[in-house]
Each structure stands twice: as C-alpha cells, then as structure tokens.
Amino acid sequence: MRIVRYSLNGLVGRGVLLGDVVHEFPSGSAEPGAEVAGVTELTLLSPCDPRTIVCAGSNYGSQIIEKGLPWPRQPSLFLKTPNAIAGPGTPILRPPGVARLEYEGELAVVIGRTARDVPVERAAEFVLGYTCANDVTADDWRADGQWARAKSADTFCPLGPWIETDIADPSTLRITTWLDGRVVQQESTSDMVFGVWELLAFVTRWITLEPGDVLLTGSPGGVGPMASGATVEVEISGIGRLRNVVAERTSHEMV
C-alpha cells in the first residue's frame, strides 16, 4: 500500500494511491475508500509529519571508504528538526552565503507504533513503511562544531513521494540519486554498516519514537554539491522517486 498526504482545494488529507488515483484512507476497514482525485490533480505533501527525525551518519561502507573514516563500532546519530521537512516537488531553499549545499540520498523509515527499547528481532513490528529522503546539508556550517544548523534549515529534509508499506526486507533495496539527470549515487542498502533493525533498536534505547516519526538510515558514497537551479532526484527500488529543485532563499522567504 502507498500512503500519501496531499493538499486539495486548500485542505490537507491522507489517502492511498492506487495506480494514478488517490483514494480515501481506510477507516475501520482494510480497504481504501472512495476516489479523491487523480494524482496529477492534487499536490503531494511530505507523506508524514514527524515530531522527531533521527539520522544515522556515515552508515554505508562506500561512504566510509570514500572519506577515509575509521569503521564505526556503533551508529553515529544526529537529529533534524521538523521545520526541515519538505514534500516532493517542494523547492530546496539554499540559504544566503552557503558555498556548498550537499545532497544525500537516503532510505527513510516511518514509524508505525510507539517504539521504545525495541529488540532487533521485533523491529519490523514498529515500522509503518518506507519512503525516499534527501538529507540536505549546508557543508559550510559543519564547522559550527555540531550539526543543528547544517542539517536543519528549512526544506533540508525532503521526503516522499509516499510511504510504501509492502517491503518485507529493507536490506536489499537500490538507492539511486540523480543530479540534473546524471547518476551521482548508486548503492544497495545491503552496504549499510548497521541495518534498519539494528538502527531502530539502537535509537530506541534512549529516544522513544512515535507513529509518524522518521529514521534516516545514512547515505552511500557520492555525496556532492547542488547548485541553485539544479534538479535532484532520489529513487529507491520498490518505493518511488523523490524530485526537488534547488532555489535561492530570498530575504522575503526568511521573514
């Protein structure tokens, strides 16, 4: 099942995508409801509205080797703030003065039930589904000494286009990132150092995740800069493709 959030005639709703048509979200039944509209007749939003976004850094062997980093003994975690969420087709706003704005294509895990002290062997029970993510980073601002500003500016966490619930094994998916039509990242999630279940168990030892919260699982090698006007797309096999364009953030938008 593909779960979407959408805007139509000024109202925000949640539905299920069947083919090219959005239907009402199931209510008291496993079956989708009546047709809402064709997917081209409404605006797709971020498919979830998380309270907490936990991210794993340097979690692909290809990126660790590329950067010459030591092999991690445990996951390296950081947070993004909810204001960073953006939907498919929403511009990624480049803050004034940022010299290097980076794309990072990632698999995002969407939580389906309250998750605390989750055992690895039961982690799948707490997952609603998966979506595509771009962990946008202002590389200049890493020098702050912590990554709050570098990772959490407005629009720095595009998600979408929907939540795919019918993935039994997230360890065999293919991530591909395009920049202006050129492949810049391509890797299998099997290259993760810590898999989805391990990450979820590790995170929930200290951070309780609620339904709709998001876990970003890291980006493979090939992270690089995006210029204003560039189109960046993140596709994950079995899920879909997330597309955004980079735009300059104006002083008006900063008010």
Domain boundaries for CATH 2.30.30.370 within the chain: 1-45
pLDDT at position 28 is 74
* Position 176 pLDDT exceeds 90: yes
Q: How far apart are CA 197 and CA 174, in angstroms?
A: 17
pLDDT at position 30 is 78
Fold of domain 46-248: Fumarylacetoacetate hydrolase; domain 2 (3.90.850)
* Cβ(92)–Cβ(245) below 8 Å: yes
* Position 114 pLDDT exceeds 50: yes
pLDDT at position 250 is 83
* Position 168 pLDDT exceeds 80: yes
pLDDT at position 31 is 85
* Position 253 pLDDT exceeds 60: no
pLDDT per position as a tens digit, 196-236 = 999 999 999 999 999 999 999 999 999 999 999 999 999 99
* Position 240 pLDDT exceeds 80: yes
Q: Which residues contact 73 (CB under 8 A, 6 or more apart)?
A: none
* Position 144 pLDDT exceeds 80: yes
Q: Concatenate the DSSP letters of all residues of 190-255 into one string.
A: GGBSS-HHHHHHHHTTT--B-TT-EEE----S--EE--TT-EEEEEETTTEEEEEEEEEPPTTTT-
Fold of domain 1-45: SH3 type barrels. (2.30.30)
pLDDT at position 254 is 45
Whole-structure pTM value: 0.95
Average pLDDT, the chain: 95
Q: What is the number of residues in the chain? A: 255
Domain boundaries for CATH 3.90.850.10 within the chain: 46-248
